[in-house]
Amino acid sequence: MPKESMKEITVQITEDQTITELSKVIQPYKSEIFLKKMVRGNVIEVNLKSFLGLITLQLKNDDKILVRTVGEDSEEAMEKVVKFLT
């Protein structure tokens, strides 16, 4: 059974941080990385490796999201994503 990690965070990013940068940060990880957020009353979960999915989430400061990682390097991937988004 693959390793899985979950953590709820509050997004705090600068205007300089882009989706493209986040995409580059997570590419080395084999784990699947998901973000879950409430968007217009609907819960949306997207694979972080999907550029289109990231656009759909429209992340902004003070958003509460759930980060979920699944795979052999899930803990390292979680640390990297949380560090980038907070």
CA gap 22, 45 in Å, rounded: 17
Share of the chain above pLDDT 90, in %: 63
Which amino acid makes up residue 6? M
Q: Give the per-residue pLDDT at 50.
A: 83
- The CATH number of residue 10's host domain is 3.30.1340.10
Q: Give the per-residue pLDDT at 64.
A: 95
Query: For 47-65, what is each residue's pLDDT tens digit?
Result: 988 888 878 888 889 999 9
Q: Nearest-CA neighbor of 69 among 41, 44, 33?
A: 33
For the chain, state the CA radius of gyration: 12
Look up the domain containing 40 and give its range. Answer: 4-85
Q: Can you list the residues of the chain whose pLDDT is less than 70?
A: none
Q: Give the per-residue pLDDT at 29.
A: 96
Structurally, how many domains does the chain consist of? 1
CA gap 3, 1 in Å, rounded: 7
